[in-house]
Structure 1
């Protein structure tokens, strides 16, 4: 069972690139972020033709998340991260798919730093801590997948000095990511000693994609209950090289069948 996450950066405009990737890799579950469209404009029929049923939490112009499932119906659990009923930004969607809980998230970027957007990012992180702790304690097999907008360490970026004033690298979100991991999650994409960092994002600016000047900000975290089923993980880097592609590449994990 392959579970993937992909910040598509406008699902309507980049439907051809999304379709090309799905046709080749055929993941079983896909978490999409930054849809930039409302539910009524989401390409349900086009994705259904590829065998995917979609659960969508859209938003006009910005944000928006979706969970796609191939051969299964994603059963909605919640459409908002608990902790702030007044928060109208579409950044979280949670569903049960084929026996596992899939949480698709798009954590706030937080730029410019410092400022109100950074404060919102950290408040959102606090809410994520609370809810993720509940998911861990449930004992269920859970995947937290999405664009976390956090570079966990200096090893997860081509050049920390170039981003020293960016919200993605500040001590507070890095500490928040570390606090999340201490709950008992496993960072499935974290490179082992001696392995190259699997970047997931390359800015459109300054020729960063051709130079492989990337960052690792898209993550798949698995709960203790799911860890024994984790077989492998990786990034479909070739998708970033498609003409008109998102500035992110899809990341994925492969899960074995339960015992």
Structure 2
């Protein structure tokens, strides 16, 4: 089973990139973030023509999440149950016995802002819900743009970013609390090259200068992690004309359905 997360930073703009990537890589599930379009404008026909089905939760201009899959999604849910939030940031569905949860974690803007406090509260609510969700769905994968670089090795210049949003201690602690409920960072299950990032600012020629952060993650439950055979970042889409500022992250899981 090949599962992927990709913040496309506007599906309308990046749709050709997504369709080309699907054709080349043929994932079983592709989780998208930052659709930036309302549900009535979702390109369902184009996605279906590529051989995929889609469930999605969008809003105008901001946020929005989708799960594209070859097989029909089952037991679809949106949002964090019991947590009032108008922003479309969470989408969950079951595919081949695996609970796929697609998230777009708030950015937080700056550590002294109200949006930062919202981010921390949101992460606390997400973690509490997922702790219960894992009892119902032992085979669970949490994919998305977390807007958190978990460690200094996930940052091109840790000193410059120290204490800043995306790298602050409370955010990293929130990430660790996710791991503590029984999740594993699939990327760190394998040896990885230094300077492996998933996001590069559009400004300052950051991608060419390798000034990136690893903030897009695939976390796997205790029951799934042993079956993970690889996790990698594909930087090729970031080289395209008018790219997303994020790159897709792929994890491959062996015999996920059979071992359920």
Q: Which band: TM-score by shorter chain?
A: over 0.9
> 2:43 is matched with which residue?
43
Match of 1:34 in 2: 34
Determine the C-alpha separation between the residues in 2 that align with 1:130 and 1:146: 17
Matched, 1:77 2:71: no
Shift of 1:166: 2.9
What is the CA-CA distance between 1:192 and the residue it aligns to?
4.8
CA separation in 2, counterparts of 1:32 and 1:216? 16
Listed one character per residue, the Cα deviations across residues 151-209 of structure 1 (whole Å, up to 9, x for unaligned) are 10111011123323531011101011011111111100127567424311111111110
State the SS of the aligned residue for 1:181: helix
5+ residue gaps, structure 2, are none
The residue that corresponds to 1:63 in the other structure is 63
CA contact (8 A) 1:191 1:198 kept: no
CA distance in 2, matches of 1:59, 1:78: 16
Asked if structure 1 preserves the Cα contact closer than 8 Å seen for 2:99 and 2:137, the reply is no
Partner of 2:243: 245
TM normalised by structure 1 equals 0.95
Q: What is the match of residue 15 of structure 1?
A: 15
Over residues 94-140 of structure 1, what are the superposed CA-to-partner deviations in whole Å (9 max), with x where a residue is unaligned? 00111110000000000122111001000101101101111233352
Q: Give me the CA root mean square deviation.
A: 1.4
- Asked whether the equivalents of residues 198 and 234 of structure 1 are also in contact (C-alpha less than 8 Å), the reply is no
Aligned residues: 257
| Superposition TM-score, scaled by structure 2 size | 0.95
Map of 2:164 onto structure 1: 166
SS at match of 1:253: strand
Contact 1:39 1:57 in 2 (8 A): yes
Within 5 Å, which residues of 2 pair with 1:74-223?
74-85=73-84, 87-164=85-162, 166-190=164-188, 192=190, 195-223=193-221
Distance 1:139 1:44 in 2: 28
Instruction: State the alpha-carbon separation in 1 of the partners of residues 148 and 175 from structure 2.
Output: 7
Contact 1:189 1:198 in 2 (8 A): no
